[in-house]
């Protein structure tokens, strides 16, 4: 709610309303020492600002609030949008600052080394009420403590487009290798690092039990999240977005995004040993079945590295021209295949191949898929689920790429993964913030 004081209407994107014990001093030209000296005895004086976090020039002056018990509601800040900054203008230091929104959620912030300034980690959301509680200690050696409260209201964001995130893969139960995804409605380019940090900070992923994890910018509109190692079996993963009302780039604000909850099933892994012509299935690290298989022959080698199950099809038609084999070629095929478990978007499956029973366990004769008996394929189809990791070792094919043909996220080492975050360390030759494809370290 905007209000008028002395003929001025102080409105703007970053405007805040002060109430509950705040008196606003609008004489911004008055020296800080003079303002502090003229404050009532025992009052706490703070200045408020909200400037861009990327160092750009701030277009709005700071405002002064004298917290002395009287209440007054006024628009306090101008049109700058950035983190909330509270600076103590009376003697002493900030012993504690707690800022919460109207739902009681605490806003993260940091206090300067000298204890005179508090800055929120992220910009405050539009159309939201906040309460700041300050505890100030005297700096003269006496145990003097003063407490003050400041109620703030950020007006609604201007009309226009909103940046939202579609969180994936959708509710359900998944394997321990399933990444979380976020598809943004508007691109956030690598040339806007502050905006990327704003988005990444607002996309919250939590798990029970807790595991360390991080986002990776695959492209300006796509992020993936994975833990350092696989998810724990039977974990619950919750994903939420706090973008709603948050300024992102210029006049673009965040909008509402639906939350996501998924559960993790048993730890099931499949390991294909190309040289040994076997596929071994593990549950919680213990072998539960070893299957004779055949993989890609020369010219069609099966990709190495870690893949993740993308889906399952009881029957799928496979044709050679889908991978560039011309009709009439001796390599061309057109088959209805049973019990197909998909691991790449380009058409690599684990599936029944009754036509190659003689080769299974002995030689590699396929066009890149992993073939096995119908009985083994049916069992594998019923055992694996979306998100289960499938690792190919001791092979001759190219490595699975991280992002362009399914979920190859696990082929990046943890240090390389962290460099894909907007908060990650910069390093020569590392995976860049736009998801450059780099081998694991």
- Catalytic site residues? 351, 369
CA dist list (Å): 336 to 147, 201, 286, 351, 353: 75, 47, 33, 11, 10
203 vs 217: CA distance, rounded Å: 12
* 3-class secondary structure, 395: coil
Token pair 């204890």 is at which residue?
115
Bridge partners (DSSP) of residue 252 are: 249
Give the side-chain half-sphere CA count within 13 A for 214. 23
Q: How many beta carbons lie within 10 A of that of residue 42, not counting itself? A: 11
Q: Which of 130, 147, 112, 135 is nearest to 76 (CA)?
A: 130
Give the side-chain half-sphere CA count within 13 A for 149. 10
Q: Show the tokens assigned to 81.
A: 């949008």
Under 8 Å CB-to-CB from 1, ≥6 apart: which residues? 17, 73, 153, 155
CA dihedral 182, 187, 192, 198 (to 10 degrees): -40
- Tell me: cis bond preceding 169? Omega within 30 of 0 counts: yes
Q: Which of 160, 94, 88 is nearest to 126 (CA)?
A: 160
CA dist list (Å): 16 to 48, 116, 254: 9, 21, 19
Q: Which of 179, 384, 157 is nearest to 281 (CA)?
A: 384
Q: Which of 189, 126, 148 is nearest to 66 (CA)?
A: 148
384 vs 289: CA distance, rounded Å: 12
Find the angle CA(394)-CA(408)-CA(303) to the nearest 5 degrees. Answer: 35
Q: Which of 227, 237, 236, 241 is nearest to 166 (CA)?
A: 241
Give yes or no for a contact between 150 and 129, defined as CB atoms under 8 angstroms apart.
no
The DSSP call for residue 399 is: B
């Amino acid at each position: 709610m905007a209000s008028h004081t002395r003929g001025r209407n102080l409105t703007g994107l970053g405007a805040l309303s002060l109430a509950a014990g705040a008196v606003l001093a609008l004489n911004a030209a008055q020296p800080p020492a003079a303002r502090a000296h003229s404050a009532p005895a025992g009052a706490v004086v703070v200045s408020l600002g909200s400037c861009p976090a990327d160092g750009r020039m701030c277009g709005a002056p700071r405002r002064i609030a004298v917290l002395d018990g009287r209440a007054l509601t006024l628009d306090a800040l101008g049109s700058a949008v950035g983190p909330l900054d509270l600076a103590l203008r009376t003697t002493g230091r900030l012993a504690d600052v707690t800022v919460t929104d109207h739902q009681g959620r605490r806003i993260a912030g940091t206090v300067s080394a000298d204890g005179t300034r508090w800055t929120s980690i992220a910009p405050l959301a539009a159309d939201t009420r906040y309460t700041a509680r300050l505890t100030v200690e005297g700096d003269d050696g006496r145990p003097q403590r003063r407490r003050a409260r400041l109620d703030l209201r950020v007006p609604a964001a201007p009309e226009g487009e909103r940046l939202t995130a579609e969180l994936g893969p959708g509710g359900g139960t998944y394997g321990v290798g399933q990444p979380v995804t976020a598809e943004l409605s508007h691109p956030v380019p690598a040339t806007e690092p502050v905006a990327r940090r704003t988005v990444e900070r607002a996309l919250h992923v939590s798990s029970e039990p807790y595991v360390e994890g991080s986002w990776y910018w695959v492209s300006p509109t796509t992020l993936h999240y994975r833990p350092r190692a696989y998810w724990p079996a039977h974990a619950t993963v919750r994903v939420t977005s706090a973008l709603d009302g948050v300024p992102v780039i210029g006049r673009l604000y965040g909008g509402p995004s639906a939350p996501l909850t998924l559960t993790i099933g048993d730890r099931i892994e499949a390991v294909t040993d190309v040289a040994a012509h076997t596929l071994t299935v593990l549950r919680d690290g213990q072998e539960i079945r070893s299957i004779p298989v055949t993989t890609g022959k020369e010219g069609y080698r099966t990709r190495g590295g870690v893949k993740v199950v993308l889906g399952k099809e009881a029957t799928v038609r496979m044709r050679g021209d889908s991978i560039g084999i011309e009709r009439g070629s001796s390599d061309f095929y057109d088959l209805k295949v049973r019990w197909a478990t998909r691991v790449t978007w380009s058409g690599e499956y684990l599936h029944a191949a009754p036509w190659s029973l003689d080769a299974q366990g002995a030689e590699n004769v396929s066009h890149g898929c992993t073939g096995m008996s119908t009985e083994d394929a049916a069992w594998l189809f019923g055992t694996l689920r979306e998100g289960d990791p499938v690792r190919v070792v001791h092979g001759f094919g190219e490595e699975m790429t991280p992002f362009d043909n399914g979920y190859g996220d696990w082929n990046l080492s943890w240090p390389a993964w962290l460099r894909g975050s907007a908060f990650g360390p910069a390093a020569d030759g590392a995976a860049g913030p736009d998801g450059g494809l780099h081998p694991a370290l």
